[in-house]
Amino acid sequence: MTTGAISEAERHQLLPLHRIAPSHAWVPLRLAELWEYRELLYFLIWREVRVRYKQTALGVAWAVIQPVMTMLVFSIFFGRLGGLPSDGLPYPVFTYSALIPWQLFAFALTESSNSVVANQRLITKVYFPRLIMPLSGVCVGLVDFVVAFGVLVLLLMWYHIAPSAAILTLPLWTLLAVGSAFAVGLWLSALNVRFRDVRYTLPFITQLWLCATPVAYSGRIVPPFWRPLYASNPMVGVVAGFRWALLGQTRPAMTTLAVSTAAMLVILVSGLYYFRRTERTFADIV
């Protein structure tokens, strides 16, 4: 031991004391504990990233193929054949700039919702703050996002679109997308432990959610009266923010951004409490 100068009794008193007892209905969030376990979070993310494209022929190219293919399909069917308005922008850029935050959201949501059940071995054998599971699920999605973002830069150059100073707000919208995925993922991952129905509803939820998000179409086709309600889908704010930051459009209505952010925060805080409240039974029923 390295504690030569202090006595045994003092060393003993220095050690942290944990009290293990039944918890009551509402438990503190203990977010500081997450910081203590940041290295575990890092290694879990790193493990997923390392393993993700092992034994695939195309490797990390998949991060680009998926949004690019979707962009092509949307451009042909909605842009060319359907003739949907795209706010005066080339339709491929218009939809791709929304597709990359969407893919980030959808992937992060799926990963985090399945994270607790997928890691049941860990949950029943080791202690760590359970919040790390959905959190690492969300962070893995950021890697694909960065790769897919590279293609967007190429598209912008091809169409000679120069982003305005608004591009500086991009991290905010990325954070809003990640936060939304984490928020909903908290609810779903905790529910998934008890109700495996979540696994089957998830693809369906993401599909419906895509329709409620202005990825293939412009948010302007929604009547102004309904827009605040529409913006309670946080992804509406994310897409509006992305298009503003990247494509040099006029600034979206403040109400849209505010409502989306508020909606995300409501789901996030309630999700955190719900997760913490149910996590004590995870190891028993997972």
Closest-CA residue to 186 (of 130, 238, 259, 127)? 130
Q: Mask: binding to another protein, 51-80, rule CB under 8 A, as x and -? A: x--xx-------------------------
Would you tell me how many other CB atoms lie within 10 Å of the CB of residue 94? 29
Give the binding range for another protein (CB under 8 A) out of 68-76, 121-129, 227-235, 239-247.
121-129
Least separation, in Å, of the C-beta of 286 and another protein? 8
Tokens of 267: 């789901």
CB of 134 to another protein, least distance (A): 17
Tell me: does residue 195 bind another protein (CB under 8 A): yes
Q: 16 near 36, Cβ under 8 Å? A: no
State which of residues 5, 9, 25, 81 lies at the interface with another protein (CB under 8 A).
9
125 binds another protein (CB under 8 A): yes
Contact pick of 30, 80, 196, 220 for another protein (by CB under 8 A)? 196
HSE, side-chain direction, 13 A CA sphere, residue 85:
7
Which amino acid, residue 180?
Answer: S
- Compute the least distance from the CB of residue 124 to another protein, in Å: 7
Question: How far, in Å, are 145, 199, 282 from residue 195 at the CA level?
Answer: 30, 9, 12
Rank residues 121 and 160 by Cβ distance to another protein and give the closer one: 121
Query: In this chain, which of 29, 40, 64, 143 binds another protein, going by CB under 8 A?
Result: 40
Binds another protein (CB under 8 A): choice among 32, 121, 224, 226: 121
Q: Which candidate, 244, 66, 276, 52, places its Cα nearest to that of 161?
A: 244
Least separation in angstroms between residue 31's CB and another protein is: 17
Q: Is 205 exposed, middle or buried, given 0-12, 13-18 or 19+ CB atoms closer than 10 A? A: middle
C-alpha–C-alpha distance, residues 243 and 170, integer Å: 10
Give whichever of 72 and 118 is closer to another protein, judged by the CB atom.
118
d(CA 186, CA 136): 12
SS3 71: helix
Residue closer to another protein (CB basis): 12 or 160: 12
Please check whether residue 166 is in contact with residue 244, taking contact to mean a CB–CB distance below 8 angstroms.
yes
Select the residue interacting with another protein from 4, 7, 21, 204 (CB under 8 A). Answer: 21
Q: How far apart are CA 100 and CA 146, in angstroms?
A: 9
Q: Residue 19 or residue 160: which is nearer to another protein going by CB?
A: 19
Residues 6+ apart with CB under 8 A from 53: 59, 60, 62
Q: Among the candidate windows 5-13, 77-85, 98-106, 215-223, which touches another protein by CB under 8 A? A: 5-13
- 50 is an interface residue for another protein by CB under 8 A: yes
Chain residues binding another protein by CB under 8 A are 1, 8-9, 12, 15-23, 39-40, 42-44, 46-47, 50-51, 54-55, 121-128, 193-197, 280-281, 283-286
